[in-house]
Amino acid sequence: MAIDQRLKEIIETQKDVLKKAALLISESIEELKRKALEEKRTLEEVIEEIMEIALEKKEKEEAMAMPLLGEKFPSIEVQTTHGPMRFPEDLAGSWVVLFSHPADFTPVCTTEFVSFQKHKGEFDALNTKLVGLSIDQVFSHIKWIEWIKEKLDVEIEFPIIAATDTLAAQLGMIHPKKGTNTVRAVFIIDPEGTVRTILYYPQEIGRNIPEIIRAVKALQKSDAEGVATPANWPENELIGDKVIIPPATDCETAAKRPKEYQCYDWWFCYKESN
């Protein structure tokens, strides 16, 4: 295998990029000498280039921080079961549900992936893309979804990201006291790439997929109508499927509210959804 290809694999590795790059150099001196000769460079220049590439990769991942609500999801270049992806740019214009899972070939994760796929039509109807993620390598993802299709007769149609453990940790997907497996994190990202909802579940508890669908619907309703949605919407115990008007911020508006909407008080008014 050519040294450039081996370096590329190191850059996409799970961890210890600098250590593995140094090991590649120590084991490939003769090959590096030939490469330097062919490219009319010194051996030192070739080695320096390799370490600079590895260091740039390490610094880029370490500089990344977990995105918070209202922030742009950081741009990442990843390998997926559907090929390379620049996330979230490649999905711009769509809502995105990015969800991490602890590991391939585990029972709870398998039930979640089957459920996400079973509900994929509902996400499609909401212009929402599904993207899975764990630190398993892409060949593991591929084998796992083959197993799901063969054993459970369910074809997983959405991509799964093969993340490095450094990347997953920087995105807040690894619990420091739960080993190196990713937690069950969910990021709901709007068409502009902004994080709108973050959900976390422990490894022991599978997610409720209809609740994630409800959250997407509620966000889209809020954006479209400038309203808020109540608890358990659209089946709230007080106002049913109606939506809440944002509270008044001045005395004049507060006095008008009970005349314009149904209200319990001027600060708690609601209306029929459009």
Residues identified as active-site: 109
Selection from 133, 140, 65, 144 nearest residue 99 by Cα: 133
* DSSP letters for 209-259: HHHHHHHHHHHHHHHHHT-B--TTTTSBTTTBT-EEPPPPSSHHHHHHHHH
Contact (Cβ atoms closer than 8 angstroms) between residue 254 and residue 263: no
**Rounded to whole angstroms, how far apart are CA atoms 36 and 50?**
12
Tell me if 259 sits within 8 A of 250, measured CB to CB.
Answer: no
Beta strand 195-201 with 243-244: parallel, antiparallel or unpaired?
unpaired
Q: Are 160 and 133 in contact (CB under 8 A)?
A: yes
Task: Note whether 172 and 184 are within 8 A (CB).
Answer: no
Region for residue 193 given its phi and psi (left: phi exceeds 0; alpha: psi -120 to 50; beta: otherwise): left
* Beta strands 268-271 and 195-201, pairing class: unpaired
**For the chain, the helix, strand and coil percentages under 3-state DSSP, each to the nearest 5:** 45, 20, 35
Sign of CA dihedral 143, 155, 186, 105: negative
